[in-house]
Amino acid sequence: MELPLSVLDLSPVGFGVQPSQAVRESVEVARAAEDLGYTRYWFAEHHNMASIAASAPEILIAAVGAATSRIRLGAGGIMIPNHSPLHVVEVFRTLEALYPHRIDLGLGRAPGTDQITSAALRRSDDPEVNHLLAEILAFENNEFPEKHPFRQITPMPSDVRIGALWMLGSTLAGAAIAAQLGVRYAFAGHFAMRQARDAIAHYRKNFKPSAQLAAPYAMLAVTCVCGEDAEDAGRQAAPIRVAIVNTRTGKRQPIVSIDEALARTADFSSEEKAIADDFMLGAVIGGPAHVGSRLRELALDLDADELMLSSLLPSLEARKASLGRVAATMS
């Protein structure tokens, strides 16, 4: 492809589809993405959401690694507050050992869920996210102070590293951390495009070269639906709008059908419309020509080295078709 394109998968759960089926379908979409020439395939981490089944990205990475041969695989991301730092390092070293030079570890500072679920996921005397991030890096780089009790711990397998490290973010805070650490940066424009320009610019301006990365590398996630034409794409995007409103207002429900979504969006309150419009700001929705042109413009305008396409399309065939149309127009 003329511009590196990748995929962010949330294992969307449509009405009448079991979450376990959504997880299995993610493996099929990843195989299709590899065949189409996409650069990397990442899995998100979310919990306690009826419309999203991606709760264990490390397991999905392992499953897709066994079913593919080239495409890079990663977590977008591992949400730091939910995990033991030592466990994160050992899991991703194990993945790198199994699938050499194909693994990305994207680290996110939010829990990716509600407060009660977050408490159930991680019960710790030290939940401060930046401390946990520092521990992950110390385990990976063997940088604990000499008298620190964890200095005697060697994460296994000890002869590999965790792969390419990325910092995720939807604000300037993540950009600042990525720049300071000298790692790759992925901005969550698929739900926070309003902050994208400032965050990527801040990252590039303040980037400090590191042993892992000599120059800044920024990836922008984008909500993208590429239909047969604009009308088709608009219809397919309607369930995404409803799903976002349901999630933001605490309504647990799988992603509804297109017909139900069209009826529901027609009756959105002003508050619901504002929620959906804010999430979809910067979304690229349309036929192949429009999508191709808009993706190129976004990458150039926001100074992104790579784009990562995100979609909550619940239909397996619709997701593969959308990715196929994008690949064709960007090749």
| Domain at 215, CATH number | 3.20.20.30
CA dist 75 → 10, 63, 254, 279, 316 (Å): 11, 13, 23, 21, 21
Q: How many Å apart are CA 156 and CA 120, to the nearest integer? A: 27
User: Given a cut of 70, is residue 328 above it in pLDDT?
Assistant: yes
Query: Cβ distance 330 to 226 under 8 Å?
Result: no
Q: Is residue 96 part of a domain?
A: yes
User: How many Cα neighbours within 13 Å face the side chain of 304?
Assistant: 29
SS3 166: strand
Q: Is residue 208 part of a domain?
A: yes
Q: Is residue 261 part of a domain?
A: no
Q: What is the pLDDT of residues 187-199, one digit of tens each?
A: 999 999 999 999 9
Q: Is residue 238 part of a domain?
A: no
Q: What is the pLDDT of residues 167-224, one digit of tens each?
A: 999 999 999 999 999 999 999 999 999 999 999 999 999 999 999 899 999 999 999 9
φ, ψ at 223 (rounded to 5°): -70, 125
Q: How many Å apart are CA 72 and CA 87, to the nearest integer? A: 21
Number of domain units in the chain: 1
CA dist 261 → 22, 122, 243, 271 (Å): 20, 35, 9, 17
Residue environment code for 224-245, b if the CB has 16+ CB neighbours within 10 A, otherwise e: bbbbeeeebbeebbbbbbbbbb
Q: Sign of torsion, CA 48 49 52 53?
A: positive
Q: How many Å apart are CA 1 and CA 94, to the nearest integer? A: 30
Q: How many Å apart are CA 129 and CA 186, to the nearest integer? A: 18
User: Given a cut of 70, is residue 326 above it in pLDDT?
Assistant: yes
223: its two tokens: 């909500």
Confidence of residue 10 (pLDDT cuts 50, 70, 90): very high
Give the H/E segment covering residue 322.
helix 316-330
Determine the average pLDDT of the residues in 41-56: 96
Q: Is residue 241 part of a domain?
A: no
Q: What is the pLDDT of residues 94-136, one digit of tens each?
A: 999 999 999 999 999 988 888 889 888 875 655 688 999 999 9
Q: Is residue 269 part of a domain?
A: no
262: its two tokens: 């069209």
pLDDT at 46: 95
CA dist 212 → 117, 164, 166, 181 (Å): 34, 8, 11, 10
φ, ψ at 228 (rounded to 5°): -65, -35
**Upstream peptide bond of 288 is cis (omega within 30 degrees of 0):** no
φ, ψ at 12 (rounded to 5°): -65, 140
CB neighbour list of residue 292: distance below 8 Å, 6 or more residues apart: 326, 329, 330
Q: Is residue 320 part of a domain?
A: yes
Query: Cβ distance 234 to 242 under 8 Å?
Result: no
pLDDT at 127: 64
pLDDT at 124: 61
Q: Is residue 97 part of a domain?
A: yes
Q: Which amino acid is at 273?
A: K
Q: How many Å apart are CA 182 and CA 175, to the nearest integer? A: 10
Q: Which domain holds residue 170?
A: 5-228+283-330
The label of the residue with tokens 């959504």 reads 22
What sections of 182-315 are H helices per DSSP?
A: 189-192, 196-206, 230-248, 258-266, 270-280, 288-302
pLDDT at 126: 57
Q: Where would I find the beta strands (DSSP E) of 92-213?
A: 103-108, 164-169, 184-187
250: its two tokens: 């605490």
Q: How many Å apart are CA 321 and CA 323, to the nearest integer? A: 5
